[in-house]
Structure 1
Amino acid sequence: MKRLACSPVPGVVPVDGLFRRRLLLTALACTVAGPLRALAADLAAASGGRLWLDESGHPLPQTSAALHLLADAASHGLDPQDYEAAGLAQAFSRPLAPGPQADAAEQALTRAFEHYLTDLHRGRIDPVQLGQRYRPGRQVPFDPGQLLRTALQRQEPAAAVAAAVPQLSQYGRLRQALARYRSLAGHPAWNEALPQLPRPAQSRTRKLEPGQPWSGLERLAQRLQLLGDLAAGTAAPSAGAVDAGSGAPRYEVELVEAVRRFQQRHGLEPDGVIGATTLAQLEVDPAARAHQIELALERLRWTPLLKARRMVVVNLPEFMLRAYEVASDGSVRVALESRVVVGRALDTRTPLFDEDMRFIEFSPYWNIPPSIARAETIPKLRRDPGYFDRMGFEFVGADGSVQRALSGAHLDAVLAGRMRIRQRPGPQNALGDIKFVFPNADNIYLHHTPAVSLFGRERRDYSHGCIRVEKPVELAEFVLQGMAGWDRARIESAMAQGSSNTLKLADPVPVLIHYGTTLVKGDQIYFFNDLYGHDRRLDAALRQHRPG
């Protein structure tokens, strides 16, 4: 295509940088302004007049509001530069004479605002790019142009922003937390690292236990006060007990309780002992936490919204399951919270997806996946043949025939794919006494477990990928609501009967496997470790995505 030579139009408002190049080189043309005017006219006709300028070229009141919203994109964890906020503000800072430059400015602001609305609604990164298989059908159709025109008919561009963001209370709470942590960025309390921890007698590791002296307590107290874990106005550690030998204040009372609160908010065992892990979390500066919140906001923009009456969400880094229910007034309440055990971070990570729970299996069989049979079960059976009977195993042929005798031929048949090993219902069954099925390509499901001691640990990634639930009876009560006769007593009886029985749910319940390393509960914000490195990959993808 032949390149068209164009010269600047007299009277054009001067603008700088990337916006100047885009606005002038693509729009402020001599004889090619016709199609541009037609596009601007179509947009104007849809809203009963120009969107951003009056007939004399002066910015409309809604223009100032829209420009302010673009400049405020950072409050949502976005970058105003992505929407040419500064350049647009300069372009609309004075009247624009009717003609190509006015048409170009109108078009540029419309495109920038629609881009902003799309990022607020869908995020900047396609979750599929990061291996997250959320079903597109769960997303409500979104038309940023129509949303903008509807809002501008009321002269309220903020209404378009309010409608575009995830309609979740968690989103607003995270925005408030983002503002708070940004206000702490660069605070002198984090200018210097905390001093080295003491090494108690009879200990190989450095840690600070209650009652011990430490020179870093005053700086620690300052950080905890700023983070909200230690009440403002609490007496400085130096005002309390001081160790006679070192002259350093002792770690005790209010400060120990504040550290416990900090540990609770950061997914650590709240024992009040400051070891290497707790110290590392204390050293994370507020700017890094603010960025972590930005990533959480981006993930919420992908999250399938609660469209059913009930929903089950598992947050992997938190090792928690929550069951949500929509009340008659439209409000959402948490009906159940349960600890869970998820896939090992090293090699058997639980995937991220959403599917509908359709069945419950009481007293389930466990069909051992071929990968586990090859890597773990068969080698153990060869070393310890008695393990076969103790665990209630049996062989199942391709024709469904069952063999309960252990033999080398049967083990070879499993390795060759002609047979499989399964575990009968019973107290040793790896799935416990109940299994919640939401069919998916990875064969992931929720289930109970005989290894209940693992629920007492703070870090709970021990499974082969499936999700073990601490409160299976309560979860069954939740998903079986409305099914006549299925009260708690009948659920417990079915779990204990020892023979497998599958029940189809009358109403499927959506299940979302989510990944959020930041969460606001009540008036407290919680941070969790990037268990599977998904935050790190999202950060890298966003850096590559950045325009320019």
Structure 2
Amino acid sequence: MYRLNILGILIWFLYACNNGESQTTAVATQRDTTIVAANSYSDIFLDSSLLSTFLAQRNPTDSIGSLMRNFYNSRNFQAAWFNERGKLTNQALSFWNLHEQHFKLTGDSAIYSQSLHARMDRLVEEDTTLLPDRNLLEQTDLELTEHFFHFARYAYAGKLDPGKLQWYIPRKQVDAVRLLDSLLVHQGANLDDWEPVNPMYGKVRRELKRYYDLQRKGSEDSILPGRNKVFQLGDTGLAVAQLNRKLFLLGDCHDSSKVDFYTANTVAAVKRAQQRFGLTANGVADMRLIKELNVSYRKRIEQLLVNMERMRWVPREAKGDHIIVNIPEFRLHAYNDTGKVFDMRIVVGKSGTSTVVFNDELKYVVFSPYWNVPASIVRNEIMPAMRRNPGYLARKNMEQTGTSGGLPVIRQKPGGSNSLGLVKFLFPNSYNIYFHDTPSKSLFSQDKRAFSHGCIRLAEPVKMAQWLLRDQPHWTAEKINEAMHQSKEKWVTVKQPVPVFISYFTAWVDREGLLHFRDDIYGHDKEMAEQMFARK
């Protein structure tokens, strides 16, 4: 299941909160009957009488009651937090992850609801195609909306404008061009009053306008390679002219002439484009690059809009030491107060065992780790191997330490063949996701690196260990190397826990101003696009 929480521990809707303790009751919103199943964000609609019953039973404050009535009226009582398959929406998962982080960081349980928390934990963890009980779903939707308003007010001493709230919890599908127009030609004089102010959002919005302008010109300027599979320095022909033209239109070169020669300028432009698409930047235009360059402007616009939808839940950039992982990019970025410290190639979960999107704090470095094999791997991989070969555990440097739930409990001993390599980095979480070394170094040379069971493998674990322990002088490079080659685990507590943000962006603008695109490796873009965009 997709847990969407991107780059931060605050949710962007809080920009609408203010520091005042009182505000006039919201003006009543009329029910929007134009929202129907055919254009709704979710196919699930609540009976309006349920809200009246809910409010009578819960007896919230007048302002919360008004906010909830306006909220559901504006949606024509469409469910806010569940999609048509009864799964929590991306917005619901974002909010809940933020909410959990608030309690972890503050210990504040003033609005803690034991029953709602237990229910949400179950819904977040379960990955089911079965629609939950309808009554339970409707009750949870109402409770989560109430909790949303309470949390925003209590945690941030403010109160949401229900009109602006709809920006964060979409009501219905719209044509992508209509949504684009609303973003580019907004009536408000101060865009920061209605749009997020995260720097990345503004940069992507500018790129969106550029793609919109390209689309309006009416020509896709496609590259037709013919029989050629590779183009490189010295080549000539129509396809090379088309390549140069497309590189110019997309901003990878500054020469607008339709030259049909593959020049040194073409090599530089191709390298830039390859970098933007996550390909090996060798200056040779192969079919992988041409495929990316030929993606239609309409598709790129939708991709940008989907990622901007995610960015609505992103705060300003984090400060201090922090780590950002972008799954589709297959890279980790480490930052401190002065900016980026280093980038690192990573391997993420493959389809079926995808890496979860969430945030937490890295607290421990574990040298020479045991690998406690997850039950799913024991059941699906190790037990069949043990039946085929009774000596399998010994050959893999593994041992059985007990049984649980009818399955053997298996762990792999420390050593060079250990699946976690020589060190792991823990940010305790319910998803059992962490960073670790790996003996399979060859995978890092590939452009697409989705091979793991969900955890994140690091190309340079020693660099990570040295950075995390740099404020503990006794952990020298020699001491770290020694600890990585022991026969027993060695746990080290990081002096100051480091926030870790595991994100999922397939389109973004980097700090050098380059617009990047990546493949939607888990299908999250596709799922969001189906909910966001009306198809003619």
Q: TM-score range by the shorter chain?
A: 0.5 to 0.7
Does the 8 Å contact 1:356/1:509 carry over to 2?
yes
Q: Give SS of 1:334's match.
A: strand
Give how far 1:335 is off.
2.0
Cα distance change of structure 1 residues 235 and 285 upon mapping to structure 2, 3 Å threshold: closer
- Are residue 227 (structure 1) and residue 250 (structure 2) matched? yes
Q: Which residue in the other structure is 2:489 paired with? A: 500
Cα distance change of structure 1 residues 176 and 131 upon mapping to structure 2, 3 Å threshold: closer
- Are residue 194 (structure 1) and residue 217 (structure 2) matched? no
1:340 to 326, 343, 346: 346
Q: Which residue in the other structure is 1:287 paired with? A: 298
Q: What are the superposed Cα offsets for residues 437-456 of structure 1, whole Å, 9 maximum, x if unpaired?
A: 11222211111111111111
Q: Which residue in the other structure is 2:516 paired with? A: 526
Give how far 1:535 is off.
1.0
2:288 to 246, 262, 277: 277
Cα RMSD for the two superposed structures? 3.7
Identity %, equivalent residues: 33
Q: Give SS of 1:439's match.
A: coil
For 2:434 and 2:209, locate their aligned partners in 1 and report how far apart those are by CA, in whole Å.
Answer: 38
Does the 8 Å contact 1:229/1:261 carry over to 2?
yes
For 2:465 and 2:389, locate their aligned partners in 1 and report how far apart those are by CA, in whole Å.
Answer: 37
Give how far 1:511 is off.
1.4
Q: What are the superposed Cα offsets for residues 5-40 of structure 1, whole Å, 9 maximum, x if unpaired?
A: xxxxxxxxxxxxxxxxxxxxxxxxxxxxxxxxxxxx
- Are residue 179 (structure 1) and residue 202 (structure 2) matched? no
For 2:333 and 2:204, locate their aligned partners in 1 and report how far apart those are by CA, in whole Å.
Answer: 18
- Are residue 359 (structure 1) and residue 364 (structure 2) matched? yes
1:126-165 matches, within 5 Å, as 127-129=90-92, 134-138=97-101, 141=156, 143-145=159-161, 161-162=191-192, 165=195
Q: Which residue in the other structure is 1:20 paired with? A: none
Deviates more, 1:500-509 or 1:272-281: 272-281
For 2:330 and 2:231, locate their aligned partners in 1 and report how far apart those are by CA, in whole Å.
Answer: 27
1:302 to 307, 313, 317: 313
Q: Give SS of 1:496's match.
A: coil
Q: How many residues align?
A: 383
1:26-425 matches, within 5 Å, as 127-129=90-92, 134-138=97-101, 141=156, 143-145=159-161, 161-162=191-192, 165-190=195-220, 193-199=222-228, 206-208=229-231, 210-233=233-256, 236-237=259-260, 240=261, 251=262, 253-303=264-314, 309-327=320-338, 333-345=339-351, 347-385=352-390, 387-398=392-403, 416-417=406-407, 419-425=408-414
The residue identity in structure 2 corresponding to 1:264 is Q
1:424-439 matches, within 5 Å, as 424-439=413-428
For 2:95 and 2:453, locate their aligned partners in 1 and report how far apart those are by CA, in whole Å.
Answer: 18
For 2:316 and 2:424, locate their aligned partners in 1 and report how far apart those are by CA, in whole Å.
Answer: 25
Give how far 1:213 is off.
4.8
- Are residue 536 (structure 1) and residue 526 (structure 2) matched? yes
For 1:46 and 1:130, locate their aligned partners in 2 and report how far apart those are by CA, in whole Å.
Answer: 29
Q: What are the superposed Cα offsets for residues 442-476 of structure 1, whole Å, 9 maximum, x if unpaired?
A: 21111111111111111000101100011222222
Q: Give SS of 1:360's match.
A: strand
Cα distance change of structure 1 residues 396 and 226 upon mapping to structure 2, 3 Å threshold: same
The residue identity in structure 2 corresponding to 1:326 is D
For 2:192 and 2:278, locate their aligned partners in 1 and report how far apart those are by CA, in whole Å.
Answer: 32
Q: Which residue in the other structure is 1:12 paired with? A: none
Q: Which structure would you say has the larger RCO, counting Cα contacts within 8 Å and 6 or more residues apart?
A: 2
For 1:383 and 1:392, locate their aligned partners in 2 and report how far apart those are by CA, in whole Å.
Answer: 17
Does the 8 Å contact 1:267/1:529 carry over to 2?
no
Cα distance change of structure 1 residues 369 and 462 upon mapping to structure 2, 3 Å threshold: same
Deviates more, 1:220-229 or 1:481-490: 481-490
For 1:489 and 1:305, locate their aligned partners in 2 and report how far apart those are by CA, in whole Å.
Answer: 38
Give how far 1:136 is off.
2.0
For 1:415 and 1:376, locate their aligned partners in 2 and report how far apart those are by CA, in whole Å.
Answer: 17
Does the 8 Å contact 1:134/1:304 carry over to 2?
no
Give how far 1:541 is off.
2.2
The residue identity in structure 2 corresponding to 1:143 is K
For 1:320 and 1:235, locate their aligned partners in 2 and report how far apart those are by CA, in whole Å.
Answer: 35
Give how far 1:378 is off.
2.9
Deviates more, 1:313-322 or 1:258-267: 258-267
Does the 8 Å contact 1:444/1:467 carry over to 2?
yes
Cα distance change of structure 1 residues 210 and 375 upon mapping to structure 2, 3 Å threshold: farther
Does the 8 Å contact 1:317/1:515 carry over to 2?
yes
For 1:447 and 1:357, locate their aligned partners in 2 and report how far apart those are by CA, in whole Å.
Answer: 12
Deviates more, 1:125-134 or 1:311-320: 125-134
- Structure 1: any 5+ residue segments left out of the alignment? 1-42, 48-81, 83-110, 116-124, 149-156, 200-205, 241-250, 328-332, 399-413
Give how far 1:497 is off.
2.7
Cα distance change of structure 1 residues 126 and 167 upon mapping to structure 2, 3 Å threshold: farther
| TM-score (structure 2 length as normaliser) | 0.63
Cα distance change of structure 1 residues 302 and 478 upon mapping to structure 2, 3 Å threshold: farther
The residue identity in structure 2 corresponding to 1:292 is Q
Give how far 1:432 is off.
0.8
Does the 8 Å contact 1:336/1:474 carry over to 2?
no
Give how far 1:515 is off.
0.3
Q: Which residue in the other structure is 1:471 paired with? A: 460
Does the 8 Å contact 2:199/2:316 carry over to 1?
no
Does the 8 Å contact 2:245/2:258 carry over to 1?
no
For 2:458 and 2:280, locate their aligned partners in 1 and report how far apart those are by CA, in whole Å.
Answer: 20
Q: What are the superposed Cα offsets for residues 457-504 of structure 1, whole Å, 9 maximum, x if unpaired?
A: 110001011000112222223333544533444333322233201122
Larger radius of gyration: 1
Give how far 1:236 is off.
1.1
For 1:132 and 1:46, locate their aligned partners in 2 and report how far apart those are by CA, in whole Å.
Answer: 24
The residue identity in structure 2 corresponding to 1:267 is G
Cα distance change of structure 1 residues 304 and 391 upon mapping to structure 2, 3 Å threshold: farther
Give how far 1:129 is off.
4.6
For 1:506 and 1:147, locate their aligned partners in 2 and report how far apart those are by CA, in whole Å.
Answer: 44
Does the 8 Å contact 1:359/1:438 carry over to 2?
yes
Does the 8 Å contact 2:198/2:314 carry over to 1?
no
Cα distance change of structure 1 residues 46 and 382 upon mapping to structure 2, 3 Å threshold: closer
The residue identity in structure 2 corresponding to 1:136 is H
1:457 to 440, 446, 449: 446
Give how far 1:424 is off.
0.5
For 2:488 and 2:316, locate their aligned partners in 1 and report how far apart those are by CA, in whole Å.
Answer: 37
Cα distance change of structure 1 residues 46 and 530 upon mapping to structure 2, 3 Å threshold: closer
Deviates more, 1:506-515 or 1:419-428: 506-515
The residue identity in structure 1 corresponding to 2:530 is A
